[in-house]
Structure 1
Amino acid sequence: MESVRGGAPVDKAVDFANYFCTYSYLYHQKDMLSDRVRMDAYHSAVFKNKRHFQGKTVLDVGTGSGILAIWSAQAGAKKVYAVEATNMARHARSLASANGVSHIVEVIEGSIEDVSIPEKVDVIISEWMGYFLVRESMFDSVIYARDRWLKPSGLMYPSHARMWFAPIKTKLVEQKNQEYQKSLADWSYFSQELNEAYGVDMSTLTMPYHEEQKKYYLQTSLWSNLYPGQVIGDPVVVKEIDCSNATLQDIAAVKSRFSFTLSGSDRLCGFAGWFDVHFRGNASNPADKEVELTTSPSDTDTTHWGQQVFLLQPPLVIEDGDVVQGSIEITRSKDNHRLMDVKITHELRSSGEQFYPATVCNFFIE
Structure 2
Amino acid sequence: MTSADFRHDNAARLDIMRSREKDQEHMHFFQSVLYEQRELIKDRTILVVCCGTGTLALMAARMGAKRVYAVDYSKVTGYATLVVRQNGYEGVVSVMNGRMKDLKLPSKVDGIICNWMGHCLLYESEILEVLEARDRWLKKGGFILPDLGSLYLVASEEHKLKSERCNHWRNVYGFNMNAIRRYALAEPCVALTTGEKLLTMAHCILRLNLKNAKKEDLFIDRNIRLSVNREGYLECFLLFFEVQFSSSLHFKLTCNPCFKTPFKSLWMQTVLFVEQPFVMRKKLHYTGNLKFKALKPNNFKEMEIRIEFYEGREYDEDWVMCTRLVAKRWLMLEGCQSISDVESCQDEQGENGGQDF
The farther-off stretch of 234-243 and 264-273 is: 264-273
Cα distance in 1 between the residues matched to 2:275 and 2:124: 27
Letter paired with 2:211: S
Answer yes or no: is 1:165 the counterpart of 2:182.
no
Residues 15-36 of structure 1: per-residue CA shift (max 9 Å, x gap): x998x61111121111110243
| Equivalent of 1:277 in 243, 255, 265 | 243
Aligned to 2:131: 143
Cα distance in 1 between the residues matched to 2:102 and 2:35: 31
Structure 1 residues 100 and 315: alpha-carbon distance in aligned structure 2, compared to 1, 3 A threshold: same
SS at match of 2:99: coil
Letter paired with 1:106: S
| Equivalent of 1:332 in 287, 294, 303 | 294
SS at match of 2:128: helix
Structure 1 residues 326 and 145: alpha-carbon distance in aligned structure 2, compared to 1, 3 A threshold: same
Structure 1 residues 264 and 187: alpha-carbon distance in aligned structure 2, compared to 1, 3 A threshold: closer
| Equivalent of 2:273 in 283, 295, 311 | 311
Aligned to 2:170: 181
Answer yes or no: is 1:241 the counterpart of 2:208.
yes
Cα distance in 1 between the residues matched to 2:236 and 2:300: 25
SS at match of 1:29: helix
Cα distance in 2 between the residues matched to 1:322 and 1:261: 9
Is the helix fraction higher in 1 or 2? 1
| Equivalent of 1:347 in 298, 307, 310 | 310
Matches within 5 A, 1:208-219: 210=179, 213=180, 216-219=183-186
Aligned to 1:201: none
Number of residue pairs the alignment of both structures matches: 318
Cα distance in 1 between the residues matched to 2:92 and 2:34: 16
Cα distance in 2 between the residues matched to 1:341 and 1:182: 29
SS at match of 1:101: coil
Q: CA deviation at 1:137?
A: 4.2
Q: CA deviation at 1:290?
A: 4.5
SS at match of 2:166: helix
Cα distance in 2 between the residues matched to 1:319 and 1:153: 49
Do 2:203 and 2:224's aligned partners in 1 also have CA atoms closer than 8 Å? yes
Aligned to 1:361: 328
Cα distance in 2 between the residues matched to 1:146 and 1:182: 52
Residues 281-328 of structure 1: per-residue CA shift (max 9 Å, x gap): xxxxxx266521111114632512001010111111233444321111
Question: TM-score, normalised to structure 1's length?
Answer: 0.80
Q: CA deviation at 1:40?
A: 1.3
Answer yes or no: is 1:250 the counterpart of 2:217.
yes
Do 2:311 and 2:325's aligned partners in 1 also have CA atoms closer than 8 Å? yes
Answer yes or no: is 1:266 the counterpart of 2:228.
no
Cα distance in 1 between the residues matched to 2:239 and 2:9: 26
| Equivalent of 1:113 in 101, 105, 129 | 101
Cα distance in 1 between the residues matched to 2:117 and 2:54: 16
Greater relative contact order (CA < 8 Å, ≥ 6 in sequence)? 1
Question: What's the % identity of the aligned pairs?
Answer: 23
Letter paired with 1:315: P
Structure 1 residues 267 and 346: alpha-carbon distance in aligned structure 2, compared to 1, 3 A threshold: same
Residues 160-199 of structure 1: per-residue CA shift (max 9 Å, x gap): 111111111102223333344358x8688xxxxxxxxxxx
Letter paired with 1:219: A
What runs of 5+ residues in structure 1 fail to find an aligned partner?
Answer: 1-15, 189-208, 281-286
Do 1:64 and 1:92's aligned partners in 2 also have CA atoms closer than 8 Å? yes
Cα distance in 1 between the residues matched to 2:168 and 2:162: 10
Q: CA deviation at 1:225?
A: 0.9
Do 1:265 and 1:320's aligned partners in 2 also have CA atoms closer than 8 Å? yes
Calculate the aligned-residue CA RMSD, in Å.
2.6
Question: TM-score, normalised to structure 2's length?
Answer: 0.82
What runs of 5+ residues in structure 2 fail to find an aligned partner?
Answer: 315-321, 334-357
Do 1:56 and 1:79's aligned partners in 2 also have CA atoms closer than 8 Å? yes
Cα distance in 2 between the residues matched to 1:126 and 1:61: 5
Letter paired with 2:192: N
Structure 1 residues 318 and 358: alpha-carbon distance in aligned structure 2, compared to 1, 3 A threshold: closer
Do 2:242 and 2:253's aligned partners in 1 also have CA atoms closer than 8 Å? yes
The farther-off stretch of 123-132 and 100-109 is: 100-109
